[in-house]
Structure 1
């Protein structure tokens, strides 16, 4: 009996030893086998084939790191005994090529991770027979061209594909056509300039598309139709200058998270995101300069909005009204052109918890700016040009039991209006919520360095919490009780009055100048008329003088002719005694012919001229009209008669 027991014990021991030997023999060189997890980890393998022949058959996970081989050949895994392998991981190796049907032996493979290698070439049948594969990771390789649109066709069960950090420039049409179960696609950090809808046909169940840092400049109109069920789209760090029209965006009916940061977007159209049910929208690090009251209209589910690091110059007072009920986080920081914020900008934002308006060039804050922020827990006002804060701000931090306040990097002016700030800093609860300015201190420590005065110069770098009333500049009652908001109103009113006065003065000056110009023009016209009148008078005077001189000359001429005629015809001298006798004698004298006809005719003509001269020299023209006519007739008759003879 004892001998039998001894035999059975010896036999069992031999069996156990033989099993142990098989386990040791089943783990290939440069590998570490873990039976409990049914995994094998190998490093610095010179080739794959020798390892595959000796791997334990129970292996479910094979992890190869820093391999020396450069290719998966068709025969490398053909002799492997672990045909039920579920996960194959080959990373940081010199692998460059996946050969024809080289992995087809793993019909049950679910996870294939080939990242951080040097893969350049994928055979069209590289993934043949991998119908159970759910995760494919080819990231961080050197893939540039996808030779065939059918490379992924066998992967009908895949739900996650990572092709990020390669050199892919384009996806062939229908490349993902067989991936109807695909949920997540990562193509980030490639060289894809244009996203085409034809490349994504078939991925109707896609939920996440990561395409950041791809040099994308354009997106074709059919893109969103192909991925209509996507929930997250990351297009950050690309070169987009404009966004698709609102009609195209509205096809993404399930989109919840849209990342567009670090592009070149300049404008946002009205109703830009209409039809979307976005929950988060990141537009930071762009070139957006203007936003309208309707930009975020119809976005009632938006809770996180990031507009930081843009070029905003102003924000309309109703910018955030369409999203006032849902918005919980708002980032406007690093828009130095803003300068000021409308008093009603945050009106209705009762759900807002996080607000960042640092580095916005703010000089003052309206006393009603924070009135509606009843849920605010975190606020960053650092790196502005604030000299004081409205009293309502301090009340808000206490009422909301805020957890984070950052105020460093402002220009605090320490006069009477700094008292509320001083008392708030002295509150025992304040140091626990105030962001520490001293990087050498732990955040929120009581010993953290407190805000300091910037002006006046005599109080520069003075701890505001330590200020006493005797060192503060005195203020009148109005200044002491006016917050920055009311002070802004007063300053605005003063500026308005000054502008109105200047406008009135300018109008008066223009009117006076115009009237003076018109007066000068009127006087100029009168002077011209007077000059023309004087010239006319001078001409008339000259004409009169000339006529007078001519008249005198004619008179002298007739007198001389009269004297001359007296010498020629003595009878003319009796004309002064009796005109009638003169006319009768001359009449009959002209009728008598004689030898001296020519002389008589001449004498008659002379007498006629003498009559004219007498008429012009002062005799009554009417009394001598008949005599002149008869003399002229006799002279003519005498001349005609002589001519006839």
Structure 2
């Protein structure tokens, strides 16, 4: 093992250690502000009582963190993308000023109630992409200043957290194996809750989060197994709701739509078995700014219901929803605030489609989700080029389109 001692007194930039095996001693590095290790094998860190406030040990793979003395300055510690399987007691005892701890992409399986107790100044904690199956209910009990916590992409099944936080605003539990609403005891400050891509199928136990129904403004429940959503009407202050990729039964969920959209500005109903926009018939939709109903079988005759969203800014839909219209003039004419359009095509847009839907090019941003580079001929590119020459007057936009055409032609050739 090679040993490297840093006797640096004036360095304030990021220091790189590239040897295969290193021992880094910060004993004399009183003025060092940032440290980044880019070596990939094994690292021993000692004597961290210096002036470092940002410590990057990501992608080291193996390391031993030996604390000698206090580290009263260190505020950011990145331990992500390593092979950490255990956080020993006392590891962070002297990191009294630590505010941001990143331990994502490791191999943690358990998190006891002693490893994090001394990090009272912590505001951001990222434990995502580990192998956590269980989190002790007292693990975060003393982290009263925590604002953001991510436990996403783990193996959690049931979540019971006792966290007497007064500051926690964002909790991410997405991409786990959770089969019911999380039990969050003592939390009433959360404004953003992400429990997407779990195995939640039942909301009848909504009472277990009754302390959150008034505080949550952003709720992401995409990718679950929800069929009935009427219980969500308890969240009276929702501004953003994502229910995409749930097999919702709208015949018994209309009450939720009618009673719970008073404050909604963003609603995602992508791939939720939606067959009609009539569910908005008796709803005031003037507050909506973003709406997605792609990957559903909605009748084009429902276009009149769409007009209720008069202040919409971002609209996402399937191309076949407007297939029977000669152009998108109706959308442009009725949605004065609309700036961003996302159109999901089942196949590559044809040359005729580009010419017919010329009004699309009046928006600030149009996102065609089909890969245009797979076109079998240059006809589509020629149609766009012809239209740009005739219609586009905005120089900045025209330059962007010319570049797009050039790249497309290169791929075709």
Determine if the TM-score, normalized by the shorter chain, exceeds 0.5. Answer: yes
Is 2:173 the counterpart of 1:260? yes
The corresponding residue for 1:97 is 22
1:85 aligns with 2:11: yes
1:372 equivalent in alignment to 2:284: yes
Please give the alpha-carbon distance, in whole angstroms, between the structure 2 residues aligned to 1:130 and 1:210. 24
Partner of 2:135: 219
CA distance in 2, matches of 1:391, 1:357: 16
Give a deviation string over 1:332-373, Cα, whole Å, max 9, x none: 011135454633213143221111001011223444456133
Q: Given the alignment, which residue of 421, 429, 433 partners 2:333? A: 429
Taking a change above 3 Å as real, the CA distance of residues 157 and 411 of structure 1, as seen in their structure-2 partners, is closer
Q: What SS is found at the alignment partner of 2:51?
A: coil
Deviation at 1:279, TM superposition (A): 1.3
Query: Which residue of 2 is the match for residue 195 of structure 1?
Result: 111
> Do the aligned residues in 2 keep the contact of 1:296 with 1:320 (CA within 8 Å)?
no
1:568-600, Cα deviation, whole Å (9 max, x unpaired) = xxxxxxxxxxxxxxxxxxxxxxxxxxxxxxxxx
Report the CA distance between 1:386 and its aligned residue.
Answer: 2.0
Residues 153-168 of structure 1 mapped to structure 2, 5 A cutoff: 153-168=69-84
The answer to whether residue 264 in structure 2 is matched with residue 343 in structure 1 is no
Is 1:166–1:190's contact at 8 Å kept on the other side of the alignment?
yes
Alignment correspondent of 1:120: 42
Once the 2 structures are TM-superposed, how far is the Cα of residue 319 of structure 1 from its aligned partner? 1.6
Higher helix share: 1
The alpha-carbon distance between structure 1 residues 178 and 153, as it changes in their structure 2 partners (threshold 3 A), is: same
Q: Which residue of 2 aligns with 1:281?
A: 193
Report deviation, 1:412. Answer: 8.4
Q: Deviations over 1:395-422 (max 9, x none)?
A: 4123xx21222231667898xxxxxx99
For 1:369 and 1:132, how far apart are their aligned partners in 2? 62
Could you tell me the TM-score, scaled by structure 2's length?
A: 0.75
Q: Is the 8 A contact 2:170 2:192 kept in 1?
A: yes
Give, in whole Å, the separation in 2 of the partners of 1:430 and 1:385: 23
- 8 Å Cα contact 1:333/1:356 also seen in 2: yes
* Change beyond 3 A, Cα 1:153–1:396: farther
Match of 1:312 in 2: 226
SS in 1 for 2:308: helix
Q: CA deviation at 1:390?
A: 4.9
Identify the residue that residue 358 of structure 1 maps to in structure 2: 270
State the TM-score, normalized to the length of structure 1. 0.49
Deviations 1:250-287 (A, max 9, x none): x2331101111111111116x75663211111111111
CA shift digits 1:411-436 (9 cap, x unpaired):
7898xxxxxx9999635425866533
Task: Please give the secondary structure, in 1, of the residue aligned with 2:114.
Answer: helix
1:319 is paired with a residue whose SS is: helix
Q: Structure 1 449/330 Cα, relative in aligned 2: closer, same or farther at 3 Å?
A: closer
In the alignment, structure 1 residue 142 sits paired with structure 2 residue 68? no
In 2, are the aligned partners of 1:354 and 1:379 still within 8 Å (CA)? yes
Distance 1:313 1:360, change over 3 A: same
Answer whether contact 1:195 1:216 (CA < 8 A) is retained.
yes
Question: How many residues are paired up?
Answer: 351
Q: Give the Cα–Cα distance (whole angstroms) in 1 for the partners of residues 281 and 95 of structure 2.
A: 52
Change in 2 beyond 3 A, CA 1:324/1:390: farther
**Tell me, what secondary structure is at the counterpart of 1:397?**
coil
Change (3 A) 1:290 1:142: same
1:471-522 Cα offsets, whole Å, 9 max, x none, are xxxxxxxxxxxxxxxxxxxxxxxxxxxxxxxxxxxxxxxxxxxxxxxxxxxx
Separation in 2, partners of 1:413, 1:106: 67
The aligned residue for residue 110 of structure 1 is 33
1:205, 1:229 within 8 Å by CA — same for their partners in 2?
A: yes
**Cα gap change, 1:412 to 1:423, in 2 (>3 Å):** closer
Gaps of 5+ in 2: 369-413
1:242 Cα deviation from its structure 2 partner = 0.9
Where is the strand percentage greater, Structure 1 or Structure 2? 2
Q: Label 1:449 to 1:334 Cα distance change in 2 as closer, same or farther (>3 A).
A: closer
What is the CA distance between 1:222 and its match in structure 2? 2.0
Range moving further from structure 2, 338-347 or 191-200: 338-347
8 Å Cα contact 1:370-1:392 kept in structure 2: no
